[in-house]
């Protein structure tokens, strides 16, 4: 088993804490004097940079939320001169203003490093061929894996997402050994391969890195069985760096957090209180070494807990358990983040339609389907089928335009959507993941 950066990934706890402490002190000093947003937040809490003396002082610092990131769009959180920025990525911005990650050359270097560590978790080396089926573009998935593969010296095939038939032929022609994509797409790939009569027991694939959407142990078993590879879970988010925040090793027992760069805390999402390792709560991450857009205590809204047991792989970092859920009502549909509030906004804009709706998510043939049930009312009701169908089509079209996902809109009778204590139950998630 290869460990990419043996020195940093296997360092002792004390040594690590010393590194984290000095990095945090430097970061807080820099942010306080260079980013008005952080200075204001710290002033409100009455925290001075001199109050931060070691890593455990991190809990004195203010949280950063997704709303903060939106409010400062586009470059309000920039911590360096604009000319230092060499690349920008953003989230899809489907929930409002997109979240921006601006990278300096050192940030790209850091990203390459943590993604090289990630790929090494699955024993990917210079002799390997990585088929990167994450989308290339503003989305961080594609280029993150790309940079990591380059750093390792592996052969990366930048095929990007979609075009399943071509994915399968490229996989066979170039003898892909590692694949990167969303877990649901991987299962879809397996499905299509079966139709094409492709036998994975004879394929060159040995490992896959799956992330960007929630999945489960049973999905892992299914992927491993169908594709004859080791399926590893990876974690990251645009706000922090993209993929490369944490990844599983071949032990498949929690995701090693690259905590020399990304410091994790688990908090009680209601009180903000920091919880001890092992307790379940919201994951909060601080970027210790990023330059372009460093983030203090970012509230990910992802629920997990931290595992401290020693991993036989030799890496000493703490590990996070596979994601257990969200603190908000965000749905992830085929890798796209969807909030019910966005659906509501679209419905508001369709004339005559009232925002009484319910979302039903199902997984069919390994792909997520979102049905949007909208209550009918007299102003849109017609005795003609085609008029009602055109309303369904119009909403489907508008949802696709603003969310980028295909949905099935179904008109339902008024008050047929279950309401509890006056509040409608908005989401029915039938996916067994």
Q: How far is the CB of 416 from other proteins (least distance, A)?
A: 6
Q: How far apart are CA 152 and CA 129, in angstroms?
A: 11
Strands, DSSP E only, in 249-349?
255-257, 262-267, 274-275, 281-287, 298-304, 306-307, 319-320, 325-326, 331-333, 336-338
Q: How far apart are CA 295 and CA 423, in angstroms?
A: 35
Neighbours of 340 (CB within 10 A): 19
Site string for other proteins, 360-389 (x = CB under 8 A): ----------------xxx--xxxxx--xx
Site string for other proteins, 322-361 (x = CB under 8 A): ----------------------------------------
Give whichever of 218 and 418 is closer to other proteins, judged by the CB atom: 418
Q: How far apart are CA 114 and CA 260, in angstroms?
A: 10
3-state secondary structure of 57: helix
Give whichever of 170 and 411 is closer to other proteins, judged by the CB atom: 411
Backbone angles phi, psi at 217, to 5 degrees: -65, -35
Give whichever of 127 and 384 is closer to other proteins, judged by the CB atom: 384
Give whichever of 84 and 354 is closer to other proteins, judged by the CB atom: 354
Q: How far is the CB of 341 from other proteins (least distance, A)?
A: 25
Give whichever of 173 and 378 is closer to other proteins, judged by the CB atom: 378
CA count, 13 A, side-chain hemisphere, 211? 27
Q: How far is the CB of 234 from other proteins (least distance, A)?
A: 39
Nearest 5°: the CA angle 238, 235, 190 is 110
Give whichever of 172 and 373 is closer to other proteins, judged by the CB atom: 373
Q: How far is the CB of 385 from other proteins (least distance, A)?
A: 5
18 burial (CB, 10 Å; 0-12 / 13-18 / 19+) is: middle
Q: How far apart are CA 353 and CA 417, in angstroms?
A: 15
Q: How far is the CB of 387 from other proteins (least distance, A)?
A: 10
401 burial (CB, 10 Å; 0-12 / 13-18 / 19+) is: exposed
Q: How far is the CB of 408 from other proteins (least distance, A)?
A: 9
Backbone angles phi, psi at 383, to 5 degrees: -80, 0
Q: How far apart are CA 94 and CA 82, in angstroms?
A: 26
Q: How far is the CB of 366 from other proteins (least distance, A)?
A: 23
Q: How far apart are CA 122 and CA 107, in angstroms?
A: 23
Q: How far is the CB of 415 from other proteins (least distance, A)?
A: 6
Site string for other proteins, 401-430 (x = CB under 8 A): ---------xxxxxxx--------------
Give whichever of 308 and 382 is closer to other proteins, judged by the CB atom: 382
Give whichever of 138 and 412 is closer to other proteins, judged by the CB atom: 412
Q: How far apart are CA 300 and CA 65, in angstroms?
A: 8
Give whichever of 78 and 372 is closer to other proteins, judged by the CB atom: 372
Contact 284, 298 (CB under 8 A): yes
394 part of the interface to other proteins, by CB under 8 A: no
Q: How far is the CB of 403 from other proteins (least distance, A)?
A: 21
Contact 250, 244 (CB under 8 A): no
Q: Which residues bind other proteins (CB under 8 A)?
A: 376-378, 381-385, 388-389, 392, 410-416
């Amino acid at each position: 088993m290869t460990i990419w950066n043996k020195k940093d990934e296997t360092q002792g706890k004390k040594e690590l804490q010393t590194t984290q402490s000095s990095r945090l002190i430097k970061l807080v000093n820099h942010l306080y004097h260079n980013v008005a947003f952080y200075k204001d937040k710290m002033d409100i809490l009455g925290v001075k940079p001199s109050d931060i003396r070691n890593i455990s002082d991190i809990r004195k610092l203010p949280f950063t939320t997704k709303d903060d990131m939106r409010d400062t769009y586009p470059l309000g959180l920039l911590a360096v001169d604009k000319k230092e920025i060499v690349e920008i990525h953003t989230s899809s911005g489907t929930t409002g203003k997109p979240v921006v990650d601006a990278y300096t050359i050192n940030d790209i270097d850091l990203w390459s490093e943590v993604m090289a560590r990630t790929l090494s978790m699955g024993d990917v080396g210079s002799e390997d061929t990585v088929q990167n089926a994450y989308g290339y573009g503003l989305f961080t998935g594609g280029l993150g894996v790309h940079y990591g593969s380059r750093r390792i010296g592996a052969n990366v095939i930048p095929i990007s997402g979609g075009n399943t038939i071509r994915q399968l032929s490229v996989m066979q022609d170039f003898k892909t050994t590692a694949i990167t994509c969303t877990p649901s797409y991987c299962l879809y790939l397996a499905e299509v391969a079966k139709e094409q009569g492709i036998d994975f027991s004879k394929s060159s694939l040995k490992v896959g890195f799956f992330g960007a959407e929630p999945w489960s142990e049973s999905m892992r078993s299914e992927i491993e069985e169908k594709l004859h590879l080791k399926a590893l879970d990876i974690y990251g988010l645009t706000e922090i760096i993209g993929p490369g925040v944490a990844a599983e090793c071949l032990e498949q027992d929690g995701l090693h957090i690259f905590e020399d760069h990304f410091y994790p805390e688990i908090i009680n999402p209601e009180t903000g209180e920091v919880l001890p390792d092992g307790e379940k709560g919201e994951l909060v991450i601080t970027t210790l070494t990023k330059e372009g857009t460093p983030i203090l205590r970012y509230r990910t809204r992802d629920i997990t807990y931290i595992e401290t047991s020693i991993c036989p792989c030799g890496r000493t970092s703490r590990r996070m358990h596979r994601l257990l859920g969200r603190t908000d009502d965000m749905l992830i549909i085929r890798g796209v983040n969807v909030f019910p509030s966005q659906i509501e906004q679209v419905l508001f804009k369709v004339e005559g339609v009232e925002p009484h709706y319910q979302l039903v998510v199902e997984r069919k043939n390994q792909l997520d389907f979102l049905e949007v049930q909208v209550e009918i009312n007299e102003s849109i009701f017609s005795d003609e089928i085609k008029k009602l169908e055109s309303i369904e089509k119009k909403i489907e079209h508008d949802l696709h335009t603003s969310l980028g996902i295909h949905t099935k809109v179904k008109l339902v009778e008024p008050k047929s959507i279950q309401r509890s204590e006056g509040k409608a139950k908005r989401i029915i998630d039938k996916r067994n993941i």
